[in-house]
Amino acid sequence: MATVSLWQRPSRVEADVAIVGGGVIGTATAWALRRLAPDLRVVILEAERLAHGASGRNAGFLLLGTASDYASAVDRYGRDAARRLWAFTAEAFRLAAEVGEAEDVGFAHTGSVLAASIDAESERLRRSHALLAEDGVQTAFLEGDEADRQIGGTGFRSALVVPEGGALDPARLVRALARLSDAEVLATWRGTYVETDGDRVRLGAEGGGEAVADRVLIATNAYLPQLLPALADVVRPVRAQMLATAPAPPTLAAPVYSHEGYFYVRQRADGRVLLGGARHLHRDAEVGYADATTDALQASLAGYLAAHFPSLADVPVERRWSGTMGFSPDGLPVLGAVPDVPGARFAAGFTGHGMGYALRFGVLAARAILGESDDALDLFHAAG
């Protein structure tokens, strides 16, 4: 095992707020805390380095709504909650655009496309279009060749075009948020326990070292049960795999989320095409924390390109990678209280959709830490 110096992991760290986990949710919370309470001393404690987890490995889609289409969200969560969740992510996108326009994070406001591959999915998109219109959100519903033309592909039944939404470089966003937050960032600081210390909270680090803070947020998403096994029911680890091609001619104008989100594809400004998904074809293999790609799933990604974007099928693949997502039982993230540790909260269960929630969720978590109210708190089963 590599050694760690006393300077890299001090024996004791004191802060007003300690955030465990340097992904997009941890850094968005630090960023929001700086805006709401500029004098607080905030420290981010990260097991590896900023954006080491899913936040540094995702496709960078900023989608509105939940992980499923609007009609499915209405059926699952009820009309009022679905409408409020949409508004929450619209605000998250507005905040991401504000940061994205000011910082060099590869932000593009392209809108986004949900694409249907079978008739049943197409009907849900048609219904989503109608329900969103009733709720004051204008989208376009296209069918057949019109849908294919909009997407830049072939073989899709229909497309729901959402004017809001876009994409960015997620790792650069995480680093920008950390910088803007002015928080102290300690890397190679892997938390091993959380406990009360009088009216404060104490965290321990692997290999020695502790942090003591008035308030703590555990923002480790999929890794939450490793630190707090009692919360294993909140989130389970699910693997996602991606690939990136060499630069290709312009094909896709906006991020495309198809096959109920089981495939997602976009093209960067430099021409590289990012494609991920196919987990539904390999469910048993795509669980747990292993950071690895498999030939079988990567072949499914190649099959998708051949079927729907044949002009891209022969473009060389430059990179393949995986990341660990944290899935919650109901598909929505949770902001909750750590049992028996007053002052400590956790944020987890972003269910493959954390970029879409991130900056607004950071504001929500920051307000909870500061004891301020937030009218979205009940959407995420927040306690305390």
Ligand X SMILES: Cc1cc2nc3c(=O)[nH]c(=O)nc-3n(C[C@H](O)[C@H](O)[C@H](O)COP(=O)(O)OP(=O)(O)OC[C@H]3O[C@@H](n4cnc5c(N)ncnc54)[C@H](O)[C@@H]3O)c2cc1C
Residues that bind ligand X (CB under 6 A): 20-26, 45-48, 52-55, 57-61, 190-191, 219-223, 226-227, 240, 242, 264, 276, 323, 325, 350, 352-356
Q: Burial of 123 by CB count in 10 Å (0-12 exposed, 13-18 middle, 19+ buried)?
A: middle
d(CA 277, CA 243): 10
Min. distance of Cβ 244 from ligand X in angstroms? 11
- Give least dist CB 321 to ligand X, A: 7
**Least distance from C-beta 134 to ligand X, angstroms?**
26
Q: Which is nearer to ligand X, 26 or 100 (CB)?
A: 26
Residue 119 or 284 having the CB closest to ligand X: 284
Closest approach of Cβ 143 to ligand X, in Å? 25
Please say which residue, 136 or 244, places its beta carbon nearer to ligand X.
244
CB of 263 to ligand X, least distance (A): 11
Shortest distance, CB of residue 146 to ligand X, whole angstroms? 25
Distances (CA, A) of 217 to 101, 123, 214, 258, 337: 28, 41, 11, 34, 9
Shorter beta-carbon distance to ligand X: residue 1 or 373: 1
CB of 131 to ligand X, least distance (A): 22
As a whole number of angstroms, the distance between CA 21 and CA 219 comes to 5
Are 313 and 302 in contact by the 8 Å Cβ rule? The answer is yes
- Cβ within 8 Å of residue 270, ≥6 positions away: 247
- In the complex, the smallest distance separating the C-beta of residue 49 from ligand X, rounded to whole angstroms, is 8
Q: Closest distance between ligand X and the C-beta of residue 359, in Å?
A: 12
- For residues 80 and 218, which CB has a smaller minimum distance to ligand X in the complex? 218
Distance in Å, CB of 338 to ligand X, minimum: 13
Closest to 21 (Cα-Cα) out of 47, 43, 41: 47
